[in-house]
Amino acid sequence: MRRFFKQSPNAIKAQLFLPLALTASLLVACSDEASINANAASSKVANEAQNAAQNKVKQTYLLSDYQLPSAIGADQAEQEALLKVLNEKEGSNTGLTQEEVKQQLLLRLTLFSSDKNQTLAKLEAITQGLTRASEFSAEQGEQDYELMAAMGSALSYQSIFYQADLGQMNLLSRKGMRYMDRAVKKAPNHLGVRLLRGLSYANMPAFLNRASFAVEDLSLLKNVLLHEKEGGQVQDSKLLSKSIVESAKKSPLKKQDKLFIEFVDYYLALSFYKNDQLESAKSLWQALSNTASEGSDSASGPVSQSKWSVLATKRLEEV
């Protein structure tokens, strides 16, 4: 979970996986030998399905309808710098505000995912901090569901350290999922909550059957961002796999915003894959693998692939 929080509506930068993105095609066929009544009934079903699909395509996602995630920087370097500032302030006479404590905890959780020296003790300390902060917000009468989702994500993350204890592994993962599901239920329009659950579920084993929720969460996030950045209605879910290529060619998105959508696309494809939607996953990874980063162009040098493009290429070689 890197680079995924930014609060400015004009420049959503993130590293922080479209309720329409469950990508199902409705097929209606009529047999030449069917009766007139059967044909009429089938035609009615087809028309209803077409109208429903059109209504979905017309649905808009206004950023003003959603709560933005907490700001924790656009990439690892920025996150580490911000965490250093907060840690120094924590040790000063000033101390941290409640919002800064939350920001500090989210940064620690985010950076833990890329920590080469991960330990259970580190993660438990982060989880305890998130739990205290979440409980404190509830005591104040304003439950912070982003903190609750982060706490659930951290609890589920702990389960990887208990592979030799299946009982404890199951307990932690299920407890974490309950918190994340509750957070989404209570705050369905909070993009930070959706992203935390989406990324957690995208990384879970397929047999836990959480991939469909990851598809829902990350698709919603992507729909809102594309609508905000492209200034129009989003495409039907079947066409989303093409959006990343079109975005790279002509979108006014800034580099970090494009990388964020690539990040979301990568984990959305992973969610498709674990949700037995292989073709959707391959299509999205293929589009992503063809996307070049803006680090260089034909005038300044050879074009290079982004991190997510490279990872998508590797995934395609495995499926």
CATH number of the domain at 163, please: 1.25.40.10
Domain that holds residue 89: 64-318
> pLDDT higher for 15 or 154?
154
Going by pLDDT thresholds of 50, 70 and 90, the confidence category of residue 227 is confident
What's the confidence (pLDDT) of residue 62?
Answer: 78
What's the confidence (pLDDT) of residue 290?
Answer: 87
Name which of 29, 53, 51 is nearest 41 in CA terms.
29
48-72: b or e for each residue (b if 16 or more CB lie within 10 Å)?
Answer: eeeeebeeeeeeebebeebbbbbbb
- CA distances 180 to 10, 87, 153, 207, 241, Å, are 28, 27, 7, 18, 27
Please state whether the predicted TM-score (pTM) of the whole model is above 0.85. Answer: no
36 found inside a domain: no
Going by pLDDT thresholds of 50, 70 and 90, the confidence category of residue 304 is low
Q: How far apart are CA 265 and CA 51, in angstroms?
A: 28
12 found inside a domain: no
21 found inside a domain: no
Please tell me the total count of domains within the chain: 1
Q: What is the torsion angle, in degrees rounded to the nearest 10, for the CA atoms of residue 121, residue 127, residue 131 and residue 134?
A: 150
18 found inside a domain: no
Mean confidence (pLDDT) of the chain: 76
